[in-house]
Structure 1
Amino acid sequence: MLALQLKHGCRRNTLRITTLPQARLRHDNTRSRDPQIGLTTPVPDDHPLRPSPSPFYFAAGYAGWAKRASRPFPPPFFSPPSGSFSDPLSTHNRSQDRRRASVNGHMIRGVTVGDDAVLVSDSLVGANDGVGAWAQRERGCAPLWSRLILHYCAVAAERDGYGGKEGDGEGKPEVLVRYLGEAYEQTKEALSGANEWLGTTTASLALLHYRLDGGGDGGSVRPVVYVAQLGDSKVMVVRPREKRIVFETEEQWHYFDCPRQLGTNSPDTPEGNAVLSTVEVEEDDIVLAMTDGVTDNLWVEEISETAVTSLNGWHEKMREGDDDAEGHLAEGMRYVAQEIVLAARKIAEDPFAGSPFMERAVEEGLAIEGGKPDDISVVAALCKKRKG
């Protein structure tokens, strides 16, 4: 019974995997071929500034490309007032990105990319992968699940001082799972009753904090990243000066192409299944949060190489233009995220390319070749020390 319940929430079954190459390459020509890009994701205009007590911050940007247009958020999560009596009351055929989505009167944090959602701030980044198969259900809306869980995580982190309030010293890594647990419960409540919408999502979060080495005036402060992972999205830490991967999360699966996920019919919970890691990092390390649209199409070595090469290329361009590279680091990380998205999309649309997804499918005895068309989302964040 468990497997039958989960199958409704998993991405695809073996009948849908073996599609023709022509069908896999089909896309909506009305949408831009350029990735969706940005720096920090929006916060409300009246949002009170509650900076992290950490002396370190993320210079970050994001990029994403959706394999198909996202299902619009339904009312009341996205229902702006009508301009006149002749205007349609429904927002079914309007892009949700044209106006700000809200929950309980508050703007929903983050950005939607197809069924994915990303969150970018100077202390917390995340990438959630909403399971697209829910779009086939009458009340399925996976983007709501992926986005709301990130939203409530951001609110919980802000309220708690990003893992440790000013003067508390070092934080505790387990707070990140607590944030995810609170977000999951609040999302379930928001999407129940009269506003019931079905869906599931993976989750990956990275919170930048710090560690005190030694004591007294001679002690030093070092950055650490707390990572919470549930499912097959991934967090990676890349050290450009050594050109190596410092850390990467491992995917969690129920069975092939059915990752652990939070939401409708899934037994997985943050407290029971999220994997928590504490990663010691250095200034100028790159932290990547990605959905499986990246990792199903690029091997981790390719992701790392693309991140380092694109960052170095961006620095070269800035030097040639005699610009202030340090003052535009977030734009550089946006460029890094965009280059990773473009590299993954190239493989995803190639029916003859080798890919990690194809390799895993062959191991399962499935005749699949080429990349895997999917939503592709990347947050790229550079660890830096605050001035002053």
Structure 2
Amino acid sequence: MGALHSTPLLPNGQPSAQALACTSANDVTSWGTPPDEAPEDEKDPTELVLQSWAFCKAKPTPQKMYRSDVDERKRRQSVSWRKRTSFIELDCGEDSFFVANNYKVIGVADGVGGWRSEGVDPSLFANALMENAKLFAETHRGEYDPEKILDAAYTKVVKDGVVKVGSSTACVATLRKEDNGSHTLDVANLGDSGVMVVRNRDLHFRVHEKVHGFNAPFQLAVLPRSMVGRAFSDRVQDCVRESVQVQEGDVIVMGTDGLFDNRFNSELAADAGWIGKVEESPIAKIPLVGFLLSGILADEKIEYIDPYRVAQRIITDAYKTSVNPETNSPWASMLRQFGQTDAKGGKPDDITVLLSRVSTREELNNNTSW
């Protein structure tokens, strides 16, 4: 993902965050550990949550193709904080993601690949950022401001000092209940990852990106002194903030730029929408027509029974586009807008998708598919 170097910029100021709880987000020693069981106020079976599934595929490289068993064990250990076995098994390359165990906070990050030429593993920063965001959301339950969550996570990366060098884009979304009973998806997006809301298999909303220029997204960073002023180092407060009302049955598609550069919005909405609530077309209520339509669509729908398979198919299709030099893609369309009139093909990249269905907590608790 993206460019590392920039025109000279002022170095980042110290990030800050405030928790709604009595402890401060900046006092990273006070976060504690997530509760073993959900608090009483998270046991309402009618409460809406984000029931989530993920899949990803790392961009093929010789190192990843011939990884040893020892290296694979190390990789799994490095993402053991994801907790869910199916998430730990995923090799997302330089991408990362999280799902908080309150099922109301999700996020993705895309480590800046340019650091690899400096001898730095770009996944380290992205994973640390997402691990911290997950921990903060789970220990500061009731905090649904995505910017505060991201700010706290970044603060901890800086203060911990474990990651010496690196940067990544970041996108965090939260599900919040309004006083009138409606629900709002709040998004903080820094860079070129993205979030879509799909309703009835159509695009209902998509968050805007934040970039410095072509293939140069905004990014959070930890820089060595020698790189200050020569590499992008943006503030959490530079993120795009957007909100949209959501309802039960909506599908949230969150992904890194590897997804959105290789699949058009309409394609993603049509595929992801299978796991959401779809209103029946009026024409389908006509007895004979409805019978014929159900027969035509039966074979197609059977592939989408399992949301995990939907996520897997989305990634598979995006990957096929990314390695096809002759196809059309959002990436090629963007290149044409920048003057490359004959541009075609996809963009090879790490590709991550996080699918979430807005559902009741009762449905979440009864779901055993993951």
TM-score by length of 2: 0.70
Is the contact made by 2:147 and 2:172 (CA closer than 8 Å) also made in structure 1?
Answer: no
Contact 2:108/2:171 (8 A) holds in 1: yes
Say which of 112, 117, 120 aligns to 1:136.
117
Q: Corresponding residue for 1:61? A: 53
**What's the offset of the Cα at 1:371?**
0.4
Alignment map for 1:1-388 (pairs within 5 Å): 5-6=5-6, 48-51=36-39, 53=42, 55-68=47-60, 94-95=71-72, 99-101=76-78, 107=81, 113-121=92-100, 122-138=103-119, 140-163=120-143, 175-190=145-160, 192=161, 195-213=162-180, 221-240=181-200, 243-263=201-221, 264=223, 265-271=231-237, 273-309=238-274, 332-366=306-340, 368-387=343-362
Conserved 8 A contact 2:174-2:186? yes
Q: Is the 8 A contact 1:141 1:197 kept in 2?
A: no
Aligned to 2:13: none
CA distance in 2, matches of 1:293, 1:120: 20
Measure the CA separation in 2 of the matches of 1:177 and 1:204.
9
2-structure distance, mates of 1:196, 1:237: 33
How many angstroms does 1:189 deviate by? 2.6
- Secondary structure class of the residue paired with 1:95: helix
| Equivalent residue, structure 2, for 1:30 | none
1:291 partner amino acid: T
Partner Cα separation in structure 1 for residue 346 and residue 4 of structure 2: 27
Displacement of 1:373: 0.6
**What is the aligned length?**
295
Q: Over residues 277-335 of structure 1, what are the superposed CA-to-partner deviations in whole Å (9 max), with x where a residue is unaligned?
A: 2221010100111011111011111111121247699xx9xxx9xxxx9xxx9x83322
CA distance in 2 between counterparts of 1:258 and 1:93 reads: 35
Contact kept in structure 1, 2:251 and 2:276, CA below 8 Å: no
Partner secondary structure for residue 356 of structure 2 = strand
CA distance in 1, matches of 2:333, 2:75: 39
1:70–1:114 contact (8 Å) kept in structure 2: no
* CA displacement at 1:244 relative to structure 2: 2.0
CA contact (8 A) 1:206 1:227 kept: yes
Q: CA RMSD in A?
A: 3.6
Tell me how far 1:184 sits from its aligned partner: 0.8
CA distance in 1, matches of 2:339, 2:34: 54
C-alpha displacement of 1:387: 3.5
2:135 aligned partner, one-letter code:
V
Structure 2 letter corresponding to 1:385: T
Q: 1:257 to 1:337 in 2, by over 3 A?
A: same
Q: Distance in 2 between matches of 1:296 and 1:160?
A: 34
Unaligned stretches of 5+ residues in structure 1: 9-44, 73-90, 164-172, 214-220
User: Paired residue for 2:23?
Assistant: none
| Greater share of helix | 2
- Structure 1 residues 346, 223: CA separation in 2 closer, same or farther (over 3 Å shift)? same
Supply the AA of the counterpart residue of 2:92.
V
2:77 match: secondary structure: coil
Query: In the aligned structure 2, how far is the partner of 1:197 from the partner of 1:368?
Result: 38
Give the Cα separation in 1 of the matches to 2:359 and 2:275. Answer: 18
Q: Give distance in 1, aligned partners of 2:105 and 2:63.
A: 26
Alpha-carbon distance in 1 for matches of 2:98, 2:362: 24
Change (3 A) 1:287 1:71: farther
Aligned partners of 2:129 and 2:163: how far apart in 1?
15
Which segment drifts farther, 243-252 or 375-384?
243-252
Deviation at 1:358, TM superposition (A): 1.1
Instruction: List per-residue Cα deviations over 1:206-243 (Å, max 9, x = no partner).
Output: 21221121xxxxxxx22221211110000111012xx3
Q: Which amino acid in 2 is paired with 1:124? A: V
Distance in 2 between residues matched to 1:350 and 1:311, nearest whole Å: 30
Q: TM-score, normalised by structure 1?
A: 0.67
Following superposition, the deviation at residue 153 of structure 1 comes to 1.0
Q: Secondary structure at the match of 2:98?
A: strand
Of 48-57 and 332-341, deviating more is 48-57
| SS of equivalent residue, structure 2 residue 179 | strand
Structure 1 distance, partners of 2:136, 2:62, is 26
Structure 1: distance between partners of 2:235 and 2:63: 25
**AA at the equivalent of 2:346:** G
Q: Distance in 2 between matches of 1:370 and 1:115?
A: 22
Equivalent AA in structure 2 for residue 250 of structure 1: H
Distance in 2 (alpha carbons) for counterparts of 1:287 and 1:268 = 26
